[in-house]
Amino acid sequence: MMFEEKRKIRIGLGRGALLAVVAGAGSSVVPGSAAAQQAAAGTQEVVLEELSVVGEGRGAGNGPAGGFGVPRLKADGYLARDGVSATRTQTPLREVPQTVVVVPAQVLTDAAATRVDSALDLAGVGRANNFGGLGLSEFTIRGLATGEYYRNGFPINRGYPNSPDVASIERIEVLKGPSAFLYGRGDPGGTFNIVTKQPLAERSLWVGQQIGSFNAKRTTFDATGPLDAEGQVLARLTGAYENNGSFRDFVSSDRYYLAPVIAWKPTADTTVTLEGEVLSTAQPLDRGIVPINGNLRAVPRNRFLGEPGIPPMRNDNALGQLRIEHKIDPDWVVTAGAQVLGGNIQGYGVGVRGERISPSVVRRVSEYRDLTWSDIDLQLNLAGKFETGPFRHTLLMGLEYDSYRYREVFARSNVNDFPFGLDLLAPRYGQSLPPIAQPPVTNFLQDTQSIAGYVQDQIDITPRLHALVGVRIEDLSLVSTNYNAVPAGTVNPASRQATVATPRFGLVYDLTDTVSVYGNYAQSFRPNTGTDARGQPLPFQGGEGIEAGAKVVLLDGRLSVDAAVFDIRRTNVPTVESSGSANFVAAGEIRSRGFDLSVAGYLAPGWRVFGTYTYADAEVTRDRSIPVGTRLANVPTDSFAVQSVYEFQSGDLRGLGLGGGVTYVGARNAGTAAATFRLPEYTTVNLISYYWITPEVKLYLNVENLLDATYYDRAFQNLYATPGLPRAIMGGVAARF
């Protein structure tokens, strides 16, 4: 039946959403609570005028906001019904032919999270290399390592930036499976997009103070409101400051974070947003411990393998985003935007080498790093709605240009001339640092340029059958200049260029009003980091994924349950040319197949729950040196995480929230090639409690790792294991003025 649908379409201020947020830094407002009722009346947003959409099929979904323009996205506590990251248009999650796990701000707030790691745990994302605690460099999704993630649709993990701070995060949308169609180069396991808080029309100021075990201290603020009497210019400023100790000996850190946003609405149809972020940290390079004869527990989890007194390494980052949106007519929207970012890690540290003086005495080296990166990303998108016969379309067309520059100098001392030993059981600190050897281990400049065009069509074939088809064509060139002495016969500078098409196709069928089934196929690619015998960059990696699943809504729409099976392959993985060779070729292949499950919503009024389970059979399927069937590093077969909180809705206990979380991670290899030890399985239990004294003041007290389990959450280079946090108490207060 044909019908005319008139509704408000909110066009957000970023590829992330323009969101209705009542609670600021360190705060939480539960739908239906006293705080929510008092605050809801003043929550407003910048919105475009009413749209009139003529179509056939359901009334919901697929608003014509393309690129980083997003209609209003709302989450009911832990439950999100719409998403934007998987399609760049507002789409009901049940109509997306892909697993999308949305982590709303409420999940972060309940957990008293300061970094995204805990949110990613709950979303089924595994932990991998974090650059000695200096950043979120690599993680795993569906059994495959990846390092690309995004902020409002723009790439932000180029180089080695700091781990994102939660102070400015409204939601995190985790996309499982290949996502190269929308975001370009990346890994086929998946990625995530951070949606940031945007300005509100109501003036408010939230201030939070958090203190905890191991001398942890964190102060946050969140201020928002109009800058002019007419309300055409809105602003928001979030920030955080930390001065932390650690359970690790001789390790402390500081952190400064500031994120301003200004949104200007010169006309009813146009919105201009300028958003920035500055993040600076300082802490020692600390990759964790190393085992003795494969036994991790032989070394105390607090043992520091570096040298006290070395100035901490600094990691300084800044970015700016400019986003412009204009409604052409009731059905079409054009968006344009640019992002500029840069960062630097510089300083000295101490590393452990694989060769040992004795089982308990390791050889160490003095290290120096100077890593600098910058990235410019330009995007242009056009999105709209139209019909062809009985079919209803939401079309997205876009262009993207990216220029990434990375400069690395890494040098260390000679381990043979200066063993610089440390006894793991009876360490003697205070040794003089050995001199840095020359030339550096690495000394190169890498320039990556890419230009891409893409088109996507979301088609309502019938009121119950929805298709998504699209393709991205990207031309990418990589030029690498090696400043060390170049061996004879190699090329300097070396370059590689390729044009890659990454298609995507998916179908969703609504069996009932509460159950939908889907299937999809997608591809991905990414440049390799190694070089061949002639110094040429290796051919690009390829990836492809197949997924089938079901999405179910239970308890009168209060609870969503998604389940999927997947089969993902990555080809052109670097492997040694032959046994004993130091040269690499792109000839390897790995595969991950398995099953995942996610749950989000309310079991009863006031009782919210969020969790995931993942089974991943991830292994090497072709290699010239690694046996077929070898499991991949940092990937457990089984992992599970759930968080649940109940807030009393009435009576004397109204405003009191009690709950907790459980995380289980199975055993993992410390390395893919010839793993020398395994990380044991672990289970951690967390407690959550808070109380709203008034709708504007909240007290909270959480306990992490209640049972004080000794665990190791990640390994690096088949050598290090990072110990997890012991039992820790974290408390705080958040107040609105």
Q: Per DSSP, what are the bridge partners of residue 480? A: 446, 494
Q: Decide if pLDDT at 23 tops 70.
A: no
- Count of beta carbons in the 10 Å neighbourhood of residue 284: 26
Q: For residues 100, 105, 107 and 110, what is the CA-based torsion angle, rounded to 10 degrees?
A: 180
The C-alpha atoms of residue 498 and residue 477 are separated, in whole angstroms, by 7
Q: For residues 557, 559, 565 and 566, what is the CA-based torsion angle, rounded to 10 degrees?
A: 90
Q: Decide if pLDDT at 710 tops 90.
A: yes
Distance of CA 542 to the CA centre of its chain: 21
Q: Which residue has the tokens 């180089």?
A: 159
The confidence band for 673, taking pLDDT boundaries of 50, 70 and 90, is: confident
Q: Decide if pLDDT at 65 tops 70.
A: no
- Residues 326-352 have a mean pLDDT of 96
At residue 254, the pLDDT reads 96
At residue 425, the pLDDT reads 96
Reported in sequence order, the residue ranges of 249-390 that DSSP labels E, i.e. its strands, are: 253-267, 270-283, 313-329, 332-358, 361-388
Q: Decide if pLDDT at 503 tops 80.
A: yes
The pLDDT tens digits for 608-640 are 999 999 999 999 999 988 899 999 999 999 999
* Tokens matching residue 379: 């995007």
- Residues 225-235 have a mean pLDDT of 94
The pLDDT tens digits for 532-545 are 777 788 889 999 99
The CB-side HSE value for 85 (13 A sphere, CA atoms) comes to: 33
Percent of the chain clearing pLDDT 90 (strictly above): 79
SS3 labels along 329-361: ECCEEEEEEEEEEEEEEEEEEEEEEEEEEECCE
Q: Decide if pLDDT at 690 tops 80.
A: yes
Q: Decide if pLDDT at 15 tops 90.
A: no
* Domains of the chain by start residue, with CATH: 2-57+68-195 (2.170.130.10), 196-736 (2.40.170.20)
* Tokens matching residue 237: 């400023």
Could you write out the DSSP letters of every residue in 142-191?
TTEEE---EETTEE--SSSPPPPBGGGEEEEEEEES--HHHH-S--TTEE
At residue 45, the pLDDT reads 33
At residue 70, the pLDDT reads 35
Q: Which residue has the tokens 């990303």?
A: 377
At residue 676, the pLDDT reads 85
Residue of 614, 557, 497 lying closest to 126 (CA atoms):
614
* Tokens matching residue 488: 């004879």
Percent of the chain clearing pLDDT 70 (strictly above): 89
Lowest model confidence (mean pLDDT) among 69-83, 222-236, 402-416, 679-693: 69-83
What is the β-pairing status of strands 712-716 and 720-723? antiparallel
- Residues 159-176 have a mean pLDDT of 94
Residue of 475, 464, 487 lying closest to 535 (CA atoms):
487
- Residues 298-316 have a mean pLDDT of 95
At residue 537, the pLDDT reads 82
The C-alpha atoms of residue 32 and residue 38 are separated, in whole angstroms, by 10
Lowest model confidence (mean pLDDT) among 184-188, 614-618, 673-677: 673-677
The C-alpha atoms of residue 118 and residue 640 are separated, in whole angstroms, by 13
The C-alpha atoms of residue 227 and residue 235 are separated, in whole angstroms, by 7
Residue of 12, 8, 7, 26 lying closest to 234 (CA atoms):
12
At residue 47, the pLDDT reads 33
Residue of 646, 660, 659, 654 lying closest to 695 (CA atoms):
654
At residue 534, the pLDDT reads 77
At residue 580, the pLDDT reads 63
Write down the mean pLDDT value for the chain. Answer: 88
Q: Decide if pLDDT at 27 tops 70.
A: no
At residue 582, the pLDDT reads 67
The confidence band for 78, taking pLDDT boundaries of 50, 70 and 90, is: very high
At residue 584, the pLDDT reads 79
The confidence band for 101, taking pLDDT boundaries of 50, 70 and 90, is: very high
The pLDDT tens digits for 136-158 are 889 999 999 998 999 999 999 98
The C-alpha atoms of residue 375 and residue 159 are separated, in whole angstroms, by 9
Q: Which one has a higher pLDDT value, 167 or 15?
A: 167
Burial class (CB in 10 A: 0-12, 13-18, 19+), 245: middle
Q: What is the pTM of this model?
A: 0.89
The confidence band for 49, taking pLDDT boundaries of 50, 70 and 90, is: very low
Give me the amino acid identity at 336: A
The confidence band for 494, taking pLDDT boundaries of 50, 70 and 90, is: confident
At residue 30, the pLDDT reads 38
Burial class (CB in 10 A: 0-12, 13-18, 19+), 625: middle
